[in-house]
Structure 1
Amino acid sequence: MFQRLVRAFIGTTNDRALKRFQARVPSINALEPALAALSDEALRGKTAEFRAQLAAGRTLDDILPEAFATVREGAKRILGMRHFDVQMIGGMVLHDGRIAEMKTGEGKTLVATLPVYLNALPAKGVHVVTVNDYLASRDAEWMGKLYGFLGLSTGTIIHGKSDEERRDAYACDVTYGTNNEFGFDYLRDNMKYRLEEMVQRDFAYAIVDEVDSILVDEARTPLIISGPSDDSSDLYQRVDVVMKELVKDTSLYEKDEKFKTVHMIEAGTEALEAALTEAGLLTEGALYDSANVTLVHHANQSLRAHVLFTKDVDYIVRQDKVVIIDEFTGRMMEGRRYSEGLHQALEAKEGVTVQPENQTLASITFQNYFRLYPKLAGMTGTASTEADEFAEIYKLEVVEIPTNVPVARQDSDDEVYKSAREKYEAVAALIAEARERGQPTLVGTTSIEKSELISELLKQKGVPHQVLNARFHEQEAGIVAQAGRPGSVTIATNMAGRGTDIQLGGNADMLARAEIGNSDSPEYEAALARHKAEVEAIRPAVKAAGGLLVIGTERHESRRIDNQLRGRSGRQGDPGASRFFLSLEDDLMRIFGSDRMGGMLQKLGLKEGEAIVHPWINKALEKAQKKVEARNFDTRKNLLKYDDVMNNQRKEVYAQRKAFMMAPDVAETVAEMRRETIGNLVDTAIPENAYPEQWDLAGLQEKVLNILGLDLPVADWAREEGIDETQVRERLIKAAEESYAARVANVGPELMRVVEKSLLLQIFDAVWKEHLLALDHLRQGIGLRAYGQRDPLNEYKSEAFNLFNSMLEDLRERTTTVLMRIDIRPDAPPPMPEPVQVMDMRHPDPYAPMGGIDDLEYADAGPPSGYGAATQPLRQPLTAQQVDPNDPATWAATPRNAPCPCGSGKKYKHCHGRA
């Protein structure tokens, strides 16, 4: 009650923000006549004038009105479009580092030009982030004409570009690209070995288009760059044969659709154990013995692949590949792969080629990537439902921008049927009815399977239609653009981020492009004029028929996706209507809906084909959706808490690595590492307050030989009168310094400085890669600590910190070992990184119970040029010894984390290298 009174008197937070931005619009409008009188050359000269003002001490806020007015005038001349006043408000919201929620068709692409131009003036670079390569290229070409007219350069970052092309694009004033490409470039840059090979410059300002899709839906999946690991494709196929038979008996396992989990019950475990034994896969011990951990992992993933994932809903099979379908957009995710072996299990299930698994080399979540930008903004048609998450995670406030013309769309209450069959028949009947009166219809579905089911029903009724789903991904823009033609019927999977307006009567530009092919050809303008006249002639008839009718065949887990579908109708004041059809068999109703609702509908005794329509049902469904959204938010928050631990380490490692590359040489760094390594050796051999007879100088002597390559009589020093720990340390440091100085003198200081930096970076990458693997393993099992009444997150923080310190110690020791023992000929080139042959970029889903399931990799394209050797082992010394497993004297250069040369299978530090 009190809150309603406050809102009535002083308005909501959104109202107050709009009022503040609205106050600046008159000052922008007042400049329009003067700027309209300028010549093109004079208007273009405004950019240099603004930059001079900034150099003189004025701020971006000071010049905002004139800069915005300049962009508006430039858009009128170059694009034939004039920014509305509400678009000016949207531009100010974006410049202020907030999220602008603008309805579909309100011109968000044009709105972005205002803050982009203003923030590009300091020449630090502005990034505009889109959801796919098509939109990045389209927007860069379209709006790039305006930026070019005003004297700014525009670049594009899309998949397949070389490092040189990427470097040039990032050097531009404005850079368009996808979230994945920006993120992967950041990770790849931090795997380079020379500063001049890096493509990105320091971050300044980013505008994220479809911000809810990128910062919410995509944020739950970390970006991962990986390299190949051991191939176990045969095991996946053999386990799949066993699982195919077991899953036929549903009494052997329990499935939880709400949390997407499945597990064998006791009877199932016994049956699985027997089947694996019979297949010759389980040869010793019980299934859950430690020796069979790998087999259990493969069986679990095969079970999930068969029970939780459905062909043509979660993925499709295309060209001998399992291709994932994005649950939010319905798009094919070319190259994206589920992790933890799940994708391999699906490949075995579908009988396609099983690809090898991967090992993590670098990773980051979108949450932490986009928080690297000092200034971040976003725009979308649906953000208010996730306002709390944007505020908590990104410190971004959502501002709802009013529409330029009031929305005239009629939104009907949902219709609920008893069965899916009745629902689809009602949908088909409504579509046929709308087509008869010439009303265009857009039908939204949640999966390929359901879109093809409706397509089949319409074929039976003889209703012509277009199907837009992952199978017809290539024709997306053309199909969506013509969805407003009279009587057209378009069936589409989720409409998030399509990026093309549905215009009543059709899209003249797309029609002209389809006819001519090239918008730069002379024939294009004539075709465009002809199609514009045609569209204008038929538009009144479409409006009279009721505008675009949007039919939702199911409620999505997220209200935003439903709103995105609904928002395709009623753009810029056009008439339109929307209606959702549901059934008690729908996933949301069945899994998350109230049991009472189902019981109530059953008691009503609905007859065949009858539906119930009531606002209460809408409210009940909204509550169910809110539950799912809250659960997903908790999952993303939890992911971020864990990733923040790694993020602090990642920032430290990347900063240190960059410092190494920027330094003229790292001689003092490796000298300090050498001294610390010797100090650790001495501390281990001579414990504090220990008597000389308790010292392990014999062990120290062996370590000195193995690590420093020095054959010193350390064991004899204990017999000297008055010897102490400090003297032992000083003698070892002095001997090591003299030996290293002689090596430098022999090789030459200049060459040695190059070798030091090159090897230090290679070793740094090697230990960081091993550390990431250790953190992966730690993360997968840390949840079990809760059974011991310990907080898994605190346990993870503590152990991750200890692992990080161990990594740094390992870095110092390995660097010292290699540099003290390496044999370099002065006439030989220094050891440089080898090019990586295979590197995958992938994206894991934390909704999976034991880590990630949703990966993104571009394995078929190969890496851009200039990659570092993060997947390569360190080069052996140029005159490497032959290692004899039976002769420890030949193992001197063995790194502590390498397999022990004796053949035990253990790491060296846990076997013969144990202190």
Structure 2
Amino acid sequence: MLKNITKFLGGSNEGVIKDLYKDVDQINDLEPEFERMSDEELKGQRDAFRARLKAGEELDDLLPEAFAAVREASKRTLGMRHFDVQMVGGMVLHEGKIAEMRTGEGKTLVATLPTFLNCLTGEGVHLVTVNDYLARRDAQWMGEIYDFLGASVGILQHQSSYMYDSTVVEAGNGMEKLRRVERAEAYAADITYGTNNEFGFDYLRDNMVVEASQRVQQQRRAYAIVDEVDNILIDEARTPLIISGPAPQSPSEYQQYARLVPNLQDEEDYAIDEKHRTAALTNEGISKLERLLQIDNIYDPDNFEKVHYVENALKAHAIFLRDREYVVQNGEVVIVDEFTGRLMEGRRYSDGLHQAIEAKEGVQVQRESITYATITLQNYFRLYKKLAGMTGTASTEAEEFFKIYKLEVVEIPTNKPMVRDDQRDLIYKDQAAKYRAVVQEIKERHEKGQPVLVGTTDIDRSEMLSAMLRKEGVPHEVLNAKQHEREATIIAQAGRPGAVTVATNMAGRGTDIILGGNPATLELTREEWQAD
């Protein structure tokens, strides 16, 4: 199997691209014809395409003209023309494959091509992003193209949903051209943007309803394009989505064990497995715990509940750290998504772990939960009739994509030769030396007027680095889950000369940082500030 994948990625990749360029030539030949169309004629193409589908033609037959229509609509609405390599990327996505495209090659614009083509079937297309911000941004941005062509766009957000509506003018808050609707209406749109979690949780909730009419996902899962596909389908593949409800009560034992566990010493009384995120008592730890609890054998069947509390309290104490795995806001423990760096409002750890963390932090311990429904992202995305993905890094996971999802990876050429200078990794003796070098490098770049983006793995490290930069007198912005409300403003300024931005992985996926800054977002932010 690996041999076949290697062959596909290696020798035959150029052949695949070469074959697709034949269709690109056909699309380019159609460009003058579509340029001559009036707006009304171009807008009428959607109905004409659907009529041809009903008459027996296939999507592949419509591809050249549909892609040409999207390109022309993009030119008229956004002033952006799809490059030939972007057309190739669109064809790869339409074929149900993964398009590996380098950073800055315009994956968001590429997705409009197969999205419009496939929405002509009336079965709906799902655009899957890694966070709510990108789902909303991409829908508002690309929505102009779809709206021009007569395709409806729905947007899923955590605890809310919207339709793209060009007549809606909302002042500030990044909600321009969005009309709030019921969840089912957003799903009934030709195109629906949302995160993997929103699609997955809605599927679970639909399987818990009494009447079929109560389901929000009325359409079958026909076609999905997954942005940052390696992150969602590989990194998070086995992450379970869980819907749970409160148990009758939350025992007071959580506070008791939260006070007891800090008496145990790392390595002496318990051992931590960082890879599997587990903590196990040593023989010394078991003996000490039994003395503290005044029992003879903690593993006696009569004490099985005590083991449950001990294990959770130990994990909460030694493995799950504040400002890394979670933050405490307004008296509540809020999980930080390890892959996106964003707050997961309303989500809770299962099996008593969340209660153990609440007890550790001294906030109100909520009731325990009972699992009602669960599914992994891997199993959810297998439900789609056709699945495609985009990312800048897929070839290293090509074997896994093919083995798990039967997805092939095609490397898309860059529009222009790559000029980015990828420098070698530097290894330091210890963390302190590394961070001193990082701060010095940032300071030198800042003094030259270069914008600098610094990536950190968690909130704690971002704040530590921020403190070091303040000490050196380097002005900067911090972007982590605690500042997520200011994300658009911080990102808009991150490319300005001399700007320094310290970020967690919030800014690591799908974030468009424009050199020189983003004038549109900065102007919008200025207007919001004046309005306040």
Q: TM-score, normalised by structure 1?
A: 0.54
The change in CA–CA distance for 1:252 and 1:397 in structure 2 (over 3 A counts) is same
| 2: CA distance, partners of 1:224 / 1:506 | 40
Residue in 1 that maps onto 2:287: 270
Q: Which letter maps to 2:48?
A: E
Residue in 1 that maps onto 2:169: none
- SS of the equivalent of 2:374 reads strand
Contact 2:228–2:510, Cα closer than 8 Å, also in 1: no
Contact 1:210–1:497, Cα closer than 8 Å, also in 2: no
Greater displacement, 353-362 / 112-121: 353-362
1:491-546 CA-partner distances (Å, limit 9, x unpaired) = 1112565433111111111112112249xxxx9xxxxxxxxxxxxxxxxxxxxxxx
Residue in 1 that maps onto 2:24: 25
| 2: CA distance, partners of 1:12 / 1:331 | 40
> Is 1:488 matched up with 2:532?
no
1:313-350 CA-partner distances (Å, limit 9, x unpaired) = 22222221222222233222222222221121111111
Residue in 2 that maps onto 1:150: 149
- SS of the equivalent of 2:194 reads strand
Residue in 2 that maps onto 1:167: 184
Greater displacement, 226-235 / 34-43: 226-235
Q: 1:223 aligns with which of 237, 241, 246?
A: 241
Residue in 1 that maps onto 2:193: 176
| 2: CA distance, partners of 1:312 / 1:194 | 42
Contact 2:96–2:388, Cα closer than 8 Å, also in 1: yes
> Is 1:427 matched up with 2:423?
no
1:67-115 CA-partner distances (Å, limit 9, x unpaired) = 1001100110111111111110110011000111112221111111100
Contact 2:479–2:506, Cα closer than 8 Å, also in 1: no
| 2: CA distance, partners of 1:406 / 1:132 | 30
Q: Which one has the bigger helix percentage?
A: 1
Contact 1:440–1:483, Cα closer than 8 Å, also in 2: yes
Contact 2:156–2:192, Cα closer than 8 Å, also in 1: yes
Q: Which protein is bigger by CA-based radius of gyration?
A: 1
Greater displacement, 68-77 / 164-173: 164-173
Q: 2:222 aligns with which of 204, 213, 216?
A: 204
Residue in 2 that maps onto 1:188: 205
> Is 1:323 matched up with 2:334?
yes
| 2: CA distance, partners of 1:234 / 1:393 | 44
> Is 1:386 matched up with 2:397?
yes
| 2: CA distance, partners of 1:68 / 1:503 | 27
Q: 2:354 aligns with which of 343, 347, 350?
A: 343
- SS of the equivalent of 1:382 reads coil
CA apart distance, 1:378: 1.0
Q: Which letter maps to 1:457?
A: M
Contact 1:444–1:495, Cα closer than 8 Å, also in 2: no
| 2: CA distance, partners of 1:12 / 1:481 | 41
Q: Give unpaired runs (5+ residues) of structure 2.
A: 162-179
> Is 1:243 matched up with 2:261?
yes
> Is 1:134 matched up with 2:152?
no
CA apart distance, 1:11: 5.3
| 1: CA distance, partners of 2:523 / 2:507 | 25
Q: Which letter maps to 1:361?
A: Y
Alignment map for 1:69-88 (pairs within 5 Å): 69-88=68-87
CA apart distance, 1:153: 1.3
1:819-871 CA-partner distances (Å, limit 9, x unpaired) = xxxxxxxxxxxxxxxxxxxxxxxxxxxxxxxxxxxxxxxxxxxxxxxxxxxxx
- SS of the equivalent of 1:471 reads helix
Q: 1:291 aligns with which of 284, 302, 317?
A: 302
- SS of the equivalent of 2:462 reads helix
- SS of the equivalent of 1:254 reads strand
The change in CA–CA distance for 1:91 and 1:461 in structure 2 (over 3 A counts) is same
Q: Which letter maps to 1:152?
A: A
Q: Which one has the bigger strand percentage?
A: 2
Residue in 1 that maps onto 2:175: none
CA apart distance, 1:170: 1.5
The change in CA–CA distance for 1:335 and 1:156 in structure 2 (over 3 A counts) is same
Aligned CA RMSD, in angstroms, stands at 2.2
Q: Which letter maps to 1:54?
A: L
| 2: CA distance, partners of 1:497 / 1:78 | 28
| 2: CA distance, partners of 1:492 / 1:40 | 43
The change in CA–CA distance for 1:11 and 1:195 in structure 2 (over 3 A counts) is closer
Q: 2:375 aligns with which of 348, 354, 364?
A: 364
Q: Which letter maps to 1:202?
A: R
Contact 1:187–1:362, Cα closer than 8 Å, also in 2: yes
| 1: CA distance, partners of 2:113 / 2:138 | 14
1:528-578 CA-partner distances (Å, limit 9, x unpaired) = xxxxxxxxxxxxxxxxxxxxxxxxxxxxxxxxxxxxxxxxxxxxxxxxxxx
| 2: CA distance, partners of 1:329 / 1:13 | 34
- SS of the equivalent of 2:359 reads helix
The change in CA–CA distance for 1:258 and 1:440 in structure 2 (over 3 A counts) is same
Q: Which letter maps to 1:323?
A: V
| 2: CA distance, partners of 1:319 / 1:233 | 23
| 1: CA distance, partners of 2:83 / 2:33 | 18
- SS of the equivalent of 1:129 reads strand
| 2: CA distance, partners of 1:138 / 1:463 | 31
Contact 1:189–1:198, Cα closer than 8 Å, also in 2: yes
Q: Which stretches of structure 1, 4 residues or more, deviate above 4 A after TM superposition?
A: 495-498
1:588-645 CA-partner distances (Å, limit 9, x unpaired) = xxxxxxxxxxxxxxxxxxxxxxxxxxxxxxxxxxxxxxxxxxxxxxxxxxxxxxxxxx
The change in CA–CA distance for 1:420 and 1:28 in structure 2 (over 3 A counts) is same
Contact 1:104–1:501, Cα closer than 8 Å, also in 2: no
- SS of the equivalent of 2:237 reads helix
| 1: CA distance, partners of 2:506 / 2:339 | 8
| 1: CA distance, partners of 2:285 / 2:408 | 50
Contact 2:341–2:481, Cα closer than 8 Å, also in 1: yes
| 2: CA distance, partners of 1:336 / 1:212 | 23
Contact 1:434–1:440, Cα closer than 8 Å, also in 2: yes
Contact 2:480–2:506, Cα closer than 8 Å, also in 1: no
Alignment map for 1:592-671 (pairs within 5 Å): none
- SS of the equivalent of 1:439 reads coil
| 1: CA distance, partners of 2:148 / 2:269 | 68
| 2: CA distance, partners of 1:330 / 1:468 | 10
Residue in 1 that maps onto 2:174: none
Q: TM-score, normalised by structure 2?
A: 0.91
Residue in 1 that maps onto 2:165: none
- SS of the equivalent of 2:204 reads helix
Alignment map for 1:789-868 (pairs within 5 Å): none
Aligned residues: 507
Q: 1:463 aligns with which of 455, 474, 491?
A: 474
1:170-204 CA-partner distances (Å, limit 9, x unpaired) = 21111112211211221211222222222212221
Q: Which letter maps to 2:381?
A: F
The change in CA–CA distance for 1:143 and 1:331 in structure 2 (over 3 A counts) is same
